[in-house]
Amino acid sequence: MIKQIKLFLLTIYFFVGIILILVAGLRTVGMDPDSGMYADYVTSYIDWAHVDLLDKEPGFWVIVSLVHTFFKSSITAFFIIYASLSIIPKLFMFFKMSSFPLMTLLLYISTYFILHDMNQIRIGFACVFILAAIPDILNKKPINFFLKIAVATIFHYSAIIGLLFYIFNADTLDKKKFALLPLIGIATLLITKLLFTYAAFIINFLPNFLSNKVNIYFNLQDQGLLRQDNPLVFSLGGGITYFLLLFLIWKSQGKTWYEIILIKILSLQLFLAVLLSFNHELSNRFYTLIGFITIPLLLPNIILYLKPRWIPYSILLIYAIRQLYSSIVGVFLFY
C-alpha cells in the first residue's frame, strides 16, 4: 500500500514537473521582469571574450554559450533548458526529503515557481545545489557541502550565503536563541544609519563579484530607483512565517531528519532579511533565496503538531493561496 501511494505521488510530481517546465520554458518574452533581459543576453552573445563575469556568473554564460552553439541562440531553447535543469532535480529532492510531498509541491508552486523558475532563473537553478547540500550538514560531510555551495555560487553569486548553513547541526535546538534571533535583527536595525555605514565599509573587503552586486543595490537605492514598498520580511507573509517559526520551535521534537536544521536556517533567514532591510532589494534577495528551502520543506511540519489535521492543512492552504496571489501580482502585474 505504501509503495502504491509513493508511486501515485511520484506520478503527480512527474506530470506537474512537465507542465511547469512547459509553462516556464514556453512563456512569452516580456511577460515577467527578467525575461526580456535574458533574451537580450542570448541573442547578443558573441563569444567568451565578450562576456562580463562581474555582471553575470560563469555558469550563466556556459548555458548561453551552449544555446548559442547548439540551438542558434534560440530563446525558447534557453528557457526550456534552464527550466528543465532547475525544476526536475528540485522536484526530485522535494519528493525525497519531504514528509508531506503534496503540501511541499503546493508550497513550491505558490511561493517560488513563479518568482524563481519564471523570473529569477539564475537563482532558481543555484537553489538546486543549495538544496542538495542540506543532507551534507546532517551527515557531516563538509567537503561535499562546500563543493555544492561553490557550484551554486558559480550559477548565482548570492548563493554563497549558503556557507552559513554549515554552522548549524541537527543535534540540539536552543529554542530561546533561535526564537529571539529575528528580534535581535530588528533591534540592530534601530541604529539604521550606523548599520548602513558599516555595511558600506564591509563591502570594500568583499570579493569583486560580490561587492559589485551589492554596490548595484546601494547605488539604485541612492538614486531612488528601487521600489519603496516594505521588504517582504515585514509583509503579512513575513509575519506569518515568524509565527510559524515560533510554533515549530515551541513544538519541535525533531520528528523529521531535517527539522532542527531547517528551523535554525529559517531563523537565520528572518534575521538576515530584517538586518538588511535598510536596502529592500538586498533584504528581499536573501529572504527569498533562503526561503526556497525553508518554506516548502519546513512549514508542512506543523501538520505533525496540530490536531485535528484539517486545521494545519487549512492554514497551509490559505498561506499558499495568499502567496500565489502575491507572486502573480508582484511578478506579472506590477513590475
Higher confidence at residue 219 or residue 128? 128
Higher confidence at residue 333 or residue 124? 124
Domain carrying residue 246: 168-304
Average pLDDT over residues 117-145: 95
Least confident of 149-153, 232-236, 300-304: 232-236
Residue 201 belongs to a domain: yes
Residue 249 belongs to a domain: yes
CA distance 290 to 261: 13
Residue 46 belongs to a domain: no
Q: What pLDDT, on a 0 to 100 scale, did the predictor assign at position 233?
A: 87
Mean pLDDT (the chain, rounded): 87
Residue 287 belongs to a domain: yes
Residue 161 belongs to a domain: no
Cβ-defined contacts of 150-156 (< 8 Å, 24+): 151/59, 152/126, 152/127, 152/128, 153/57, 153/126, 154/57, 154/58, 154/59, 155/57, 155/59, 155/60, 155/122, 155/125, 155/126, 155/129, 156/57, 156/59, 156/122, 156/123, 156/125, 156/126
Residue 4 belongs to a domain: no
The pLDDT tens digits for 288-330 are 999 999 999 999 999 999 999 999 999 999 999 999 998 888 7
Average pLDDT over residues 74-91: 97
Residue 186 belongs to a domain: yes
Residue 193 belongs to a domain: yes
Domain count along the chain: 1
pTM: 0.88
Q: What is the radius of gyration, based on Cα positions, of the chain?
A: 20
Q: State what percent of residues in the chain have pLDDT above 70.
A: 87
Q: Which of 290, 273, 291, 259 is nearest to 161 (CA)?
A: 290
